Structure 1
Amino acid sequence: MATLRQINYHPFRVNIQNDQVHWTKSNHQNIEGLPQIIWQDNTTWSEANLWALEQATSFRSSIKTVRSNMSHLLAYAKWLESESIDWWQFPDRESERCLNRFRGALIQARNSGELAPSTASQRMAAVIRFYKWARDLGLISTEWPMWKDKFVGIKLTNQFGLEHTLKVASTNLAIPNRTVAGPVQLEDGLLPLSVKAMKEVLNFADENASKELALMLRIGFFTGLRIGSITDLKVSTLQNAITVPEVGIKTISVGPSAYPPVDTKFDVSGSVPIPNELLEMLLDYASSIRRLKRQSLSSENDQDLLFLSRFGNNYKADSSSAINVEMSRLRKLGLKSGVTVLRGFYFHRTRATYATELMKVALNAMPVADAVEFVKEACLHKDISTTMKYVKFIETSKLMKEASDAFTEAFMGLSRSKAVNE
């Protein structure tokens, strides 16, 4: 199947002197870890790789965004190979076009629980962006019937409560993000697990997942770090953990300003609390024979990474697709084994669970304003509005439970009265 590889791109420019070609190093900045797609027959997907280079050199996208886009395009490339379809297959019959068929495959994967709703939406959007770029550059024909353009209106509310509608260009191939409906939408529309369900997931992962995934899930549940940050954790990050004076809790530093730096969303830097038991568990793993064998196979730049694949590669190189594959296998195995809590479970729900439970504890221990600020800092939220969703979720859930209990009591009372009368 197609693979995603990273190269260190060094820009050169060509000069013609005395009818001879000379290559000289360009003043443009080198790009470390530029993602490139290789087909199964070891040929390169030139158009897609050129798109990655254009994104990385335009300064409109960070290298993390480029890798994310290319990971979605890699999934598309793998699907094309599995279906024996060319990426330029656009016949008159709409149902036979490559993009329409891929959209159907994504929706099916979403509905079956193999893909998170947000992932399906983002994957289709990334593929469409690539085709639009290729069409604008004339790499593919503008006459091909690829999609139908449309405009959708998005309602926005400002801080004063005034609404306005923003028109956004879209296509008929876009996949709406069908998130879980609930009383309050948390980050990415995912709901937290109960503490009991969390323990079920961890126990099942300990017995059926790799050591690495089991530890990653623990980090997600007990620190709230995203998978992108977890796969970029360094052994030095753990060794440099500090103890907060007079409090006793330990924290690890993440973000671009940390030493060593650890990737975070929006490049937010901060200190994340970590339970001492989990910290010791991770340090033991860092010095285990299992990890040291992987470290011996890794490149010099990856030596300090906490998590490495069995071939010594870093997980972040493929935007965590290896983790997504193992998570999918774990869900399927869990459902076969009767572990129903794994139905609809995605890695990011570990973060929603952590933030919810942390907010419950904080609200019981300090004033609301202090609790919100504490959770905001612990979860590295960019905006306080994201943190406030957890307060509202907890309050709404409590009210719903009270209403449910009252309804049940009233219903049972009516049922008993009816039974007596009969």
Structure 2
Amino acid sequence: MATLEVIRFQRHEPNVPEGDSPDTVDWRASRADGELPTIVWASGETWSQANLWAHHLAEQRDPQTVMASMKHLASYARWLEAEGVEWWHFPEKKSERCLFKFRKALIAARDAHEIAPSTASARMAAVLRFYRWTRAADLICPGGSMWEDRELKVKTMNTFGLERTMRVITSELVIPNRKVKGGFHLEDGVLPVTEEGRRDIQAFADVHASDELSLMLAIGFGSGLRLGSLCDLKIATLEHATIDPLTGWRRMDVGPAARPPVATKLGVSGKVPIWEELRARALEYAASPRRLKRQAKAAAEHRGLLLLNRYGNPYTQGAVTTEMCRLRAKALDAGVHVFRDFYFHRSRATFATLLMRVALKVLPVGEAVDLVREACLHANADTTMDYVKFIEQSKAMRESADAFTQAFLGLSKRDVSRA
């Protein structure tokens, strides 16, 4: 199976002296070394074209964008290997072309709730960007068109009432980001777990998971932090968390504007709540011998991170996902079935749902939405409103189920009495 690996690289430039052409050329490091995601096939060979694209992106985009694009491309590479299709396979018949087959597979996975609609759209878009670049760089010669593009005219109006028309190039392979019928899902296509399920997950993780993963789950359930923010959480962030005089919660400053900065999705800055007991647990772990040994191995720029792996390096989302998969398998073997469809991001949805339920009991809907939006750093209120709709829908479904059960049992009792 194709894998996504991270390599360290350093750019070099030739140092050619003036005058006659020298016999040898000295190469000097031009910039500091950095990390570059690289796709490796199951055979051990690298996907040269994809890795060149990653290098091209690294020149223009931030590391998170490069990693996200390469993760999508790595998923495409794994699909190619599983289907036995070459990435340059573009026969005359459209349905046999690799990209059209991949699009069909993504739509099927989306409809089966295996991936979120946004993931399907983003994955297809990333793969298309890769192919557009390879075609522009003459790294692929399919002998014909790989797909058909079409031009759309989009009219926009500014605040002064002036209308503008923009030309947008789209493709027949684009997957619209539409919600799938047959289920209600929250941000990123996830659903929360019940309070009982949360307790079971945390209790099992406290015993069978590493101290780091157990703490990550506790912070995820207790503050709603995303996994990327957790991997970049600093000890100083916890130490500097201030007390909210209205609620008694602690609030952590996160985002690029925080000091120290903590990575967030889309670079949003804000204050995230954390319970005092959870903060105390995290600070206790920060001073534990286990973590201090890891800190001693870490580079200077990483020693302030709360979570370090055994080699003293920062945790990556891939490493946490791998450990979660192992914990899930162990839990299912032990009969803890709440783990079956659980993955880390559901801890965030669980926190937001619980906070919204509590807020709706004591605040008007508008103020409750503002509270949860600020706590979860949502980019827009629509994402937060989905939690209100989810709670209302869940309540209506429970009441309907109770009414149906009572009617059914009542009918059964009447039938029994008549008999």
**Structure 1 SS opposite 2:171:** strand
Shift of 1:113: 9.7
**Structure 1 SS opposite 2:252:** strand
Deviates more, 1:87-96 or 1:344-353: 87-96
* 1:231 maps onto 2:231 in alignment: yes
1:110-169 deviation line (CA, Å, top 9, x unaligned)? 999997786576556534432332133211222389x65588x9xxxxxxxxxxxx9952
* 1:345 maps onto 2:342 in alignment: yes
Q: Aligned pair in 2 of structure 1 residues 252, 169: CA closer, same or farther (>3 Å)?
A: same
1:82-105 deviation line (CA, Å, top 9, x unaligned)? 999875577899999877898899
* 1:56 maps onto 2:58 in alignment: yes
Q: How many residue pairs were aligned?
A: 400
The 8 Å contact of residues 187 and 352 in structure 1, kept in 2 or not, is answered as yes
**Structure 1 SS opposite 2:366:** helix
Aligned to 2:414: 417
How do residues 98-137 of structure 1 correspond to structure 2 at under 5 angstroms? 122-123=122-123, 125-137=125-137
Shift of 1:367: 2.2
The 8 Å contact of residues 235 and 286 in structure 1, kept in 2 or not, is answered as yes
Corresponding letter in the other structure for 2:223 = T
The 8 Å contact of residues 4 and 74 in structure 1, kept in 2 or not, is answered as no
The 8 Å contact of residues 4 and 71 in structure 1, kept in 2 or not, is answered as no
The 8 Å contact of residues 194 and 353 in structure 1, kept in 2 or not, is answered as yes
The 8 Å contact of residues 308 and 314 in structure 2, kept in 1 or not, is answered as yes
Q: Aligned pair in 2 of structure 1 residues 194, 87: CA closer, same or farther (>3 Å)?
A: same
Shift of 1:356: 0.6
Q: Aligned pair in 2 of structure 1 residues 119, 408: CA closer, same or farther (>3 Å)?
A: same
Aligned to 2:275: 275
**Structure 2 SS opposite 1:171:** coil
Give, in whole Å, the separation in 1 of the partners of 2:169 and 2:267: 29
Deviates more, 1:130-139 or 1:401-410: 130-139
1:29-65 deviation line (CA, Å, top 9, x unaligned)? 978544445678987654323212322333xx43311
The 8 Å contact of residues 90 and 142 in structure 2, kept in 1 or not, is answered as no
Q: Aligned pair in 2 of structure 1 residues 253, 168: CA closer, same or farther (>3 Å)?
A: same
Give, in whole Å, the separation in 2 of the partners of 1:63 and 1:324: 19
1:225-265 deviation line (CA, Å, top 9, x unaligned)? 11111111111111211112354221111011001111111
Shift of 1:363: 1.2
Deviates more, 1:72-81 or 1:375-384: 72-81
Aligned to 1:162: none
**How much identity, in percent, do the aligned residues show?**
47
Give, in whole Å, the separation in 1 of the partners of 2:89 and 2:388: 49
**Structure 1 SS opposite 2:141:** coil
Aligned to 1:253: 253
Give, in whole Å, the separation in 1 of the partners of 2:217 and 2:402: 33
Give, in whole Å, the separation in 1 of the partners of 2:172 and 2:96: 21
Give, in whole Å, the separation in 2 of the partners of 1:121 and 1:345: 23
Give, in whole Å, the separation in 2 of the partners of 1:308 and 1:343: 27
| TM-score after normalising by structure 2 | 0.79
Q: Which has the higher contact order (CA 8 A, sep 6+)?
A: 1
Give, in whole Å, the separation in 1 of the partners of 2:131 and 2:141: 10
Aligned to 2:309: 309
**Structure 1 SS opposite 2:67:** helix
Q: Aligned pair in 2 of structure 1 residues 386, 108: CA closer, same or farther (>3 Å)?
A: closer
| TM-score after normalising by structure 1 | 0.78
**Structure 2 SS opposite 1:139:** coil
Give, in whole Å, the separation in 1 of the partners of 2:349 and 2:55: 35
Give, in whole Å, the separation in 2 of the partners of 1:175 and 1:386: 18
Aligned to 1:65: 65
CA RMSD in angstroms, aligned pairs only: 4.0
* 1:364 maps onto 2:354 in alignment: no
Gaps of 5+ in 1: 154-165
**Structure 2 SS opposite 1:51:** helix
Shift of 1:68: 1.5
The 8 Å contact of residues 110 and 180 in structure 2, kept in 1 or not, is answered as no
Aligned to 1:387: 384
